[in-house]
Structures are given as C-alpha cells and as structure tokens.
Amino acid sequence: MSSPLNGGSPISTSGPILEARGLVKSYDEGRVEALRGVDLKIDAGEYAAISGPSGSGKSTLLHLLGGLDTATQGQVFFNGSVLGKAVDLDTYRSRQVGFIFQAFYLLPTLRAAENVQVAMLALHEKANHRAERAAALLEEMGLGTRMNHFPNQLSAGERQRVAIARALANDPTLLLADEPTGNLDSVNSAHIMDLLCGIREQRGMTMIVVTHENDIANAAPRHIRIRDGKIES
Amino acid sequence: MASQLSFTGFAWKNLWRRRLRTLLTLVGITMGIGAFVALVGFSRAFEHEWMRMYTSSGIDIAVVQSNLLSSSIDESLATKISAVPDVAQVAPMIFNLMDLTPEVNALVYGWRANSYELDSLTLLSGHRFHDGTQEILLGDLLASNLGKKVGDMLSIQGTNFTVAGVFHGGSALEAGSVIMPLDQMQIVAGMEGKVTAFHVKLRAAPAGESYDDYVKQASAAIEAVLPGTRAFPAAERAANNQIVALAHSVAWGTSAIALLIGILGIANTMAMSVFERTREIGILRALGWKGRHVILLILAEAAALGFVGGLVGVGVGWGTLRLLSTLPQTASVVSASVSPSYLLESLLIAIAAGLLAGAYPAWRGARLSPMEALRYE
C-alpha cells in the first residue's frame, strides 16, 4: 500500500498518452508569456507532479494538457492525436479527463450527489444510472452519509472529496488536479493525496498534479519543475 | 439514497435559486399571454358571433360600399340587386354601435318589418314591429341587462321607443342587440334614404354546383350591376367587416405590446442569469459540457419560464373572457366559449416567446471558453 505522499509506483509505461510539443501560451497580445516552448511526454498510467513558483506557468500547462485552453503555438497530442484538431476538446474533456480544482468549484444549488451527476448530464446516461454511480463514488470517497448535503453544509475536505467524485464520474483516463490541497489543512491535504494516489493505483489512471507543496511534488514518481514558462527538469 | 438530477431538474433549480426574479418574470409573461388570450380571444369570439349571426339569418351575401370605412348606399338600389337572377331576397339594413345608457352600449339594427332576417329570430314575448312606428325589438340578453320588458320605453339617441317584443337570436350579438324599423333607424342615424348594407339571400344552388362557387358567381353578378359596391360572401364579410377588423387590430396590437414586454422580461432574466453564472458555465464546460449543452440548458430555463407563465396566462385570459361574457357592457359582443386549440396556440406562443428571449443569452453562454469563464470574478 502506498503512503499518502509517495504516490506509489508507475502503473504502465506503454508509451506517451500525452505529449506537448513546443507549447507557447501568451496573453495580453503577446506581452505576457506564460509558457515559452514546453516539450513534455506523460506515459499512460504515470503519476507526475508539476511544481514551480507562483506565475511559473504550471497551471497554464495543466489547462492546455486538459483541453481547457488552447496554446498560442505548439500542440498537445493525446494518444498520438492532436487536441483541438483530430480530437474535439469538449469530447476530450467529457470522455477522457477528470479535473480537480483548488477552489473545488462545486455548484452551490446542487447537493453533493447532484454535483457528481452534473458531470454525467452531458454523457446521455440514464438518470438512475447517473444517480447510482454518483452514490457509489461518494461512498468510495467516504461520503455515504453526506451525499444529500449542499456544499455549504460540508467541510473543505468533504467538498474536495465531492469534487474528486465528480472528476471520476466520467471514468476518465487522465486525472488532472490543479493545487488540489491548496485550500486544505495538513490533515485534509494528506487525506486527499492518499485518496488520489489510491484511486490512481486502483484504476490505473494517468495523474498529473500541479502543486506548490514540495512534499507532494517530491513524493510523486516524477517531478517536473517549471520556472518562467519553461521546464527545468 | 442519492437524489436524481435530470437536465430539466437542473434547469428548474437554476430558476428557483432566484425566486423573486423568476416570479417577477413569470408575472410579466403571464400578463402578456393573459392579454393575448383575452384580447385576441375576444376579437375571435366577436368574429365567430358575427358569423353565427349571418348563418342563423340565412344571409349568403353582404353588399356594402367599397373603399369606405363607413358604408352608405342608396336604399333604392335594392331593386337592382333583386333583379339579379340568383337573388331570392334582399334585406336593406343599417347597423351601428350605440350607447343606450352610460354603462351599456349595443349593436342597433334597422330592418324592414318584412325582412327575411326577422324570420330567424324566436319571439319570446310581444310582437314584431311595424314600419314607420317607434317600436323596437330587444334581444333577451339586452332586455335582461336593461331590465326592460314588452311595453317599456327606451330612449335611443334622444328618441323614445316602445319595446314591442323580446327575442332570442342565434348569436350573442343578436341576443344583445336592438332591432328597429329601417325608416326609424335612418332618422336616428341621420341616413335618410341610405343603408349600410344589403343582406342578400340566394336561391338554392343549382344541382352539381358547389355553394362557394355559386356565392362567388352571384357576388360577381351583383357587383357588375352595382358599380362602387362590394359583394362579400357572408363568411368573408364576418371576418372583414369594419368592427371586426378594428377589434382584431386593437387586440393584436395591444397583445403584441404586452407579449413584447413579457419577452423582454425573460430576455433580461436570462441575460442576467448567464452573466451571474459565468463561472458555473465555465465549470460545466470544464466537465465536458459542449456549447450546445449550455445552449440547451439556458433555452430550457427560458422555455420553462414561457411555459409556466403561459399556463397561468392562459388561465388568466380565459377567466377574463368568462368575466367579460357576463358583464352588461360586453356580454352582447362576446361569448364565453374559447376553443381548446386557441388556448393551446397561446401556450405554444408563450413557449416560443421564451425560446426567442433565451436565444441570445444562450448563444453568449455557449461562446464562453472554459478558462475565460473559470477566471471570471
């Protein structure tokens, strides 16, 4: 069994599931460059942590890898196909990617179970199947008794676990987490990382975690350091 | 057990989170559709009653002056119409809307005592009037509203008339009307020697000829002998006479304004909603929702507003029509019957109004890029 922070061992090295080639992302008509030529390969089943100082471009890189945004230059390949061209970004996000955000981003008017189901509404699954799957995921997150609570009735750690359940709702191949412990205390941080690593190991998913916490980054089998929009190591 | 979330349930939750704004928007569309149902229903019922009056009286063709809002034709031309081979009977007549009391106005007809149109009425009490006498017949609804019976006096435009009889007619228009001798009506209306229309009854259509073709042919023959007049088949005349046309115009104009206000209300609500939920739309996009899913969600919310507002509006409009059919001022020109297809049509208009109002906010919501929306403060 892996420890909360070591992330376990790589599950598969059958070739890159994700590849970034020459990624440049600029804002404000080119005056601000968040990424300046990033090349990166992530193998299927790999767990990688991306760390760097604030403003280094780590979240921008994650957003491009997850199809949330498009690069100014360069391309992202998923299983050898170019995102945004051969692979539709919406379909990519709905079928292949599970996102976890620092701010949880739960919908305040929906109960925990409904927040999980909302990710499946775009997948045309039957309502009872959606509800059953949401309940099973929340049970797995240890929230079996909290599934009909609204976000404001949950603790920060519980909210992030609902967000993780939501990220798993579409049974993704990629789990992308942007500062998943940024709003949590140390106990909850350890709990959440333990949960994520256990999920990755159990399901054989590829996981990329953006973090500014050295403990989490160093515990990952692969640690990618980024500074000023370029990968250092 | 986890609660189930459906697409429509999600849309409804989004509307319900801003209850006051949703309710105010519903009030707007309810008023718009209520006005539409009541006003357009009123004008359609009015037209329907007009048609029933023509049908029950056996009128085939109405001859009026062409190109004038207020028709005025020489009464003597009746002989020329009578000479047209297919014409069986000609009834010269005048009709006008007159104030009988400060609260009650009614359609007042001037007919000759021997008009075939009188044959279609059922005399409930009294007797028919005679030409040249200051006698009138009252429709039973009007007599009841005025509290008049046979032998009572009624002043019309300053002239006192004796109620000779009370009748029941084939339509609400007749039930709420006054009929007096044509010569008396010409004096009251200041139209000596003139009439507003000739109501023509044709002979039976020849075997093998359709009624519509027969009436059109006879209308053309009448117009040929009376240049400057128009001969309308009765059904067409019911829809196009000046009073009905005016009622239609006012009804559509007023309800169009009310509907527009309702549509603007929904558009404003949906635009505000999309603006406030920018980040939420970003979350949905991040979860894989396509632009069309966002469009569907916003349109579902807008359509729900239209549907609920329309449903209540149809009820309000129908209730208003029923109320109007019982009021003395309006009972004579409208019946309480409204066809279910018309109510359904009104509901569909409400839903279409919602969709129209939601179209732009939906398009805007769908155009938001996930990151742009997630970064929104």
Three-state SS letters, B275-308: HHCHHHHHHHHHCCCCHHHHHHHHHHHHHHHHHH
The pLDDT value given to residue B377: 65
CA-based nearest residue to B172, from B339, B61, B330: B330
Q: Are B176 and B137 in contact (CB under 8 A)?
A: no
Residue type, A135: A
The pLDDT value given to residue A11: 44
CA-based nearest residue to B18, from B280, B272, B309: B272
On whether any CB of chain B is under 8 Å from the CB of A105, the answer is yes
Set of chain A residues whose Cβ sits within 8 Å of the Cβ of B6: 127
Q: Which residue's structure tokens are 């008017």?
A: A109
- Please give, rounded to a whole number of angstroms, the shortest distance from the CA of B310 to a CA of chain A: 26
**Which residue in B277, B287, B298 has the most chain A C-beta atoms within 10 A of its own C-beta, making it the best mutation to test that interface?**
B287
Whether A147 is in a domain gets the answer no
The pLDDT value given to residue A122: 84
User: B31 phi and psi, to 5 degrees?
Assistant: -65, -40
- What confidence category does residue B124 fall into, taking pLDDT thresholds of 50, 70 and 90? very high
On whether any CB of chain B is under 8 Å from the CB of A54, the answer is no
Predicted confidence (pLDDT) at residue B21 exceeds the cutoff of 90: no
Residue type, B322: R
3-state secondary structure of B248: helix
Sheet with A32-43: list strands edge to edge.
A32-43, A16-27, A73-78, A81-82
Residue B235: CA count within 13 A, CB half-sphere: 4
**Yes or no, beta carbons of B287 and A147 under 8 Å apart:** no
Whether A24 is in a domain gets the answer yes
* Percent of chain B with pLDDT strictly greater than 70: 94
- Please give, rounded to a whole number of angstroms, the shortest distance from the CA of B280 to a CA of chain A: 7
What Rg value do the Cα atoms of chain B yield, rounded?
28
Residue B101 has which token pair? Answer: 């009391």
Q: How far is Cα B17 from Cα B185, in angstroms, rounded to an integer?
A: 64
Q: Does residue B34 or residue B324 have the better pLDDT?
A: B34
Q: How far is Cα B45 from Cα B39, in angstroms, rounded to an integer?
A: 10
Domain count, chain A: 1
Whether A197 is in a domain gets the answer no
Predicted confidence (pLDDT) at residue B68 exceeds the cutoff of 70: no
The pLDDT value given to residue B199: 93
Whether A148 is in a domain gets the answer no
Expressed in angstroms, the distance from the first to the final Cα of chain B is: 35
Q: What is the CATH number of the domain that holds A233?
A: 3.40.50.300
Query: Mind giving me the DSSP string for B31-72?
Result: HHHHHHHHHHHHHHHHHHHHHHHHHHHT--EEEEETT-SS--
The pLDDT value given to residue B307: 94
CA-based nearest residue to A88, from B280, B375, B296, B289: B289
The pLDDT value given to residue B70: 67
Whether A66 is in a domain gets the answer yes
pLDDT per residue as tens digits for the range B158-199: 899 999 999 998 777 788 899 999 999 999 999 999 999 999
Average the pLDDT over each of A11-20, B111-120, B209-218, B309-318 and give the range with the smallest value. Answer: A11-20
- Please give, rounded to a whole number of angstroms, the shortest distance from the CA of B303 to a CA of chain A: 19
Burial letters for B32-55: b for 16+ Cβ neighbours within 10 Å, e otherwise?
A: bbbbbbbbbbbbbbbbbbbbbbbe
Longest dimension (CA), chain B: 88
Range of the domain at A88: 10-94+208-233
Set of chain A residues whose Cβ sits within 8 Å of the Cβ of B14: 109
On whether any CB of chain B is under 8 Å from the CB of A78, the answer is no
Whether A62 is in a domain gets the answer yes
On whether any CB of chain B is under 8 Å from the CB of A159, the answer is no
Q: Count CB atoms within 10 A of the CB of residue A146.
A: 18
The pLDDT value given to residue A3: 39
Whether A172 is in a domain gets the answer no
Q: What is the pLDDT along chain A (233 residues), one digit of tens a residue?
A: 333 334 444 444 456 999 999 999 998 888 889 999 999 999 999 999 999 999 899 999 999 999 999 999 999 999 999 998 888 999 999 999 999 999 999 999 899 999 999 999 988 888 899 999 999 999 999 999 999 999 999 999 999 999 999 999 999 999 999 999 988 888 889 989 999 999 999 999 999 999 998 899 999 999 999 999 999 87
Cβ neighbours of residue B224 under 8 Å, at least 6 residues apart? none
The pLDDT value given to residue A8: 42
Predicted confidence (pLDDT) at residue B310 exceeds the cutoff of 90: yes
The pLDDT value given to residue B160: 94
Set of chain A residues whose Cβ sits within 8 Å of the Cβ of B370: 68-69, 93
A with B: how many residue pairs have Cβ under 8 Å apart? Answer: 95
Q: How far is Cα A23 from Cα A41, in angstroms, rounded to an integer?
A: 12
